[in-house]
Amino acid sequence: MPDGYTEVERYWVDEPYTFVSIIDDTRMFHYQVAEPSLTTYEKEILERVYEDLQDVLTLKDTSKADKNAVLADKTLSLFERYHALLDVASMHRIMYYLRRNFRGYEKIDPLLLDPHIEDISCDGVGVPVFLYHTKYRNIMTNVVFEELELNSFVIKMCQKSGKQISIGEPMVDATMSDGSRLQATLGREVTTRGSSFTIRKFKGDPITPIDLISFGTCSIDILAYFWLAIENGKSIIFAGGTASGKTSILNAVSLFIPSLAKVISIEDTRELTLHHENWIAGVTRKSFTGGAGEVSMYDLLKASLRQRPEYILVGEVRGEEALTLFQAMSTGHTTYSTIHAGDVQTVVNRLENDPMNVPHAMLQSLDIVCIQVQTYVNEVRVRRSNSIVEVTGLDARTGNIRINEIYHWDPAVDTFKQAGESYVLNSIMQSRGWKQDKLVSELTNRGKILEYMRGKGMCDYISVSLVVQAYFLNPERVLEAVRNDNLQEMISQHL
Ligand SMILES: Nc1ncnc2c1ncn2[C@@H]1O[C@H](COP(=O)(O)OP(=O)(O)O)[C@@H](O)[C@H]1O
Ligand SMILES: [Mg+2]
């Protein structure tokens, strides 16, 4: 450790090989990756094995455990062939680097293994890689790339994610094999500091409504409201800035879609995860030759309408597909999508103007807009549903769109306030022929179930889906299971 620094914390990311040390130079924290060091002799052997393995290694159809075994096997036989003088510890250290380079992501492999890291960004050649760490927030690392190394690394990462990057097509958006999102640029054409990449790490299971409650993103009341609204085919747009959690909340509340309903999702990069049997997931395709072979969101959406979906999920609307989405809404489909916009007025402006061009009158088909924000509570980065508004129609006099805020977040006390009467709930009550007390009990019961699940830690998306499904088929049974404290047992019979 350099002079004048103190170590704040140290933890393993790949025991017993690699650990991370967080150090403090009194101005800021630094993230130091410490990998095993190799002697000159070990480095020579590593390079030789690396070369020779390129030819013999075909790891295509083997499972993960098998792949590591095959790699170890071939390496050992090469050690033997070279008559290498290595003790067991040296062999393990060399094996570590082979695994991380062949199977993993080389230098950034330790960063991908660290569960505290949310985003990894490399902004160019010779610039330290930056991270977003759950505990230390934005933090600089000791990982730096040289020019040629970075170019070939970016090409390799894209290839591993099934995409091609080249000087002719220097920007790529891809999904990595573990579900992480990768954005990469190649060369100095589009980014003057050289190739760059950003990885938004995939965090295992998708975020569920129960997680949203635990994170404080929404209140139980808000989720009970979404549950009822979604079950009854009300359409929602989730708006917000970059990384405000739009896609995550869209995915979370989509678990409230009745389990047998026909669902079609359309995305540029695969992010959504549902547990619905009757779900068709579409991903757009960009053509490398331009024109032919390209499948846009608009194409997919038009095609999907012929398949008679009840629920349509569109990852993010940006262009002409917005109009098709609103046409779908106005012909009785329920749709959920996200849009980049910080408030309701901007949502409306973006929808009405080029390139979306949704006619004013058509906006009435939308029922709810939820505005997500990324903000700070006690210096910790959090996501909140800042405002939930309903679209109640057009003002007959002015022709303006009429909106009605029903929940908003109060940053001073970090709680959600109910703002107005819900037009959406009233319309559900009418169409289902419910009395006011039936509506109230539907909301309270759903709230109770959500609260119970949070208390029990039943937050994975499969459990949430099974409970929603069970409630749809037989609400009384679910409520009874909550009362008898055996909901977990009840749903596990269906697994
Ligand atoms: N409610 C939340 N609480 C905490 N983290 C969240 C929440 N929603 C999303 N995230 C995290 O924030 C990042 C961005 O989320 P995402 O939904 O992709 O944002 P967007 O679609 O607005 O760009 C992801 O790493 C995700 O895991
Ligand atoms: Mg998104």
Q: Which two tokens stand for residue 455?
A: 């208390």
**Of 54, 79, 103, which residue constitutes the final position of a domain?**
103
Q: Is the pLDDT of residue 290 over 80?
A: no
Residue 422 CA, chain-centre distance (Å), reads 30
Ligand 2 center from residue 240 Cα (angstroms): 9
Looking at the CA of residue 215, tell me the nearest atom of ligand 1: 3
**Can you give the pLDDT at residue 186?**
94
- In one-letter notation, the amino acid at residue 202 is F
Q: What is the pTM of this model?
A: 0.71
Ligand 2 center from residue 216 Cα (angstroms): 19
Cβ count within 10 A of residue 44: 13
For 75-87, the pLDDT digits (tens) are 999 999 999 899 9
Q: Give, in order, the Cα–Cα distances in Å from 464 to each of 68, 272, 430.
A: 35, 15, 28
Closest listed ligand to the CA of 238: 1
Q: What percent of the chain has pLDDT over 70?
A: 95
- In one-letter notation, the amino acid at residue 239 is A
Range from 79-93, 259-273, 292-306 that averages highest in pLDDT: 79-93
Distance separating alpha carbons of residues 199 and 183, to the nearest angstrom: 7
For 119-166, the pLDDT digits (tens) are 899 999 999 999 988 788 889 999 999 999 999 999 999 999 999 999
Asked if residue 389 and residue 331 are part of one domain, the reply reads yes
Evaluate whether 261 touches 307 at the Cβ level (below 8 Å).
Answer: no
Asked if residue 277 and residue 183 are part of one domain, the reply reads no
Q: What percent helix, strand, coil does the chain show, rounded to 5?
A: 40, 25, 35
Residue 3 in any domain: the answer is no
For 39-68, the pLDDT digits (tens) are 999 999 999 999 888 776 665 556 666 788
**Can you give the pLDDT at residue 105?**
93
Ligand 2 center from residue 161 Cα (angstroms): 19
| Number of structural domains in the chain | 3
Q: Is the pLDDT of residue 277 over 90?
A: no
**H/E stretch holding 21:** strand 18-24
Residue 25 in any domain: the answer is no
Closest listed ligand to the CA of 249: 1
Spatial strand order of the sheet with 171-175 comes to 6-14, 18-24, 29-34, 137-141, 130-133, 117-122, 196-200, 181-185, 171-175
State the CATH number of the domain containing residue 417.
3.40.50.300
Asked if residue 239 and residue 165 are part of one domain, the reply reads no
**Of 140, 169, 200, which residue constitutes the final position of a domain?**
200
Ligand 1 center from residue 382 Cα (angstroms): 9
Looking at the CA of residue 251, tell me the nearest atom of ligand 1: 17
The residues lining ligand 1, judged by C-beta closer than 6 Å to any ligand atom, are 118, 200, 203, 207, 212, 215, 217, 240, 242-248, 338, 383
Residue 23 in any domain: the answer is no
Residue 275: band (very low, low, confident or very high) from pLDDT cuts 50, 70, 90:
confident
Residue 8 in any domain: the answer is no
Ligand 2 center from residue 196 Cα (angstroms): 20
Closest Cα partner for 450 from 461, 458, 442?
458
Closest listed ligand to the CA of 318: 2
For 355-403, the pLDDT digits (tens) are 999 999 999 999 999 999 999 998 888 999 999 999 999 888 888 899 9
Name the pairing type of β-strands 279-283 and 263-267.
parallel
Closest listed ligand to the CA of 239: 1
Could you list the residue range(s) of the whole structural domain that residue 145 is in?
Answer: 110-200
435 Cβ contact list (under 8 Å, min separation 6) = 429
Looking at the CA of residue 338, tell me the nearest atom of ligand 1: 21
224 Cβ contact list (under 8 Å, min separation 6) = 443, 444, 446, 447, 450
Tell me the mean pLDDT in the region 111-122: 91
Ligand 1 center from residue 376 Cα (angstroms): 14
Residue 482: band (very low, low, confident or very high) from pLDDT cuts 50, 70, 90:
very high
Task: Ligand 1 pocket test: pick from 133, 248, 250, 376 the residue with the most ligand atoms within 8 Å of its Cβ.
Answer: 248
Asked if residue 409 and residue 323 are part of one domain, the reply reads yes
Evaluate whether 323 touches 357 at the Cβ level (below 8 Å).
Answer: yes
For 241-253, the pLDDT digits (tens) are 988 999 999 999 9
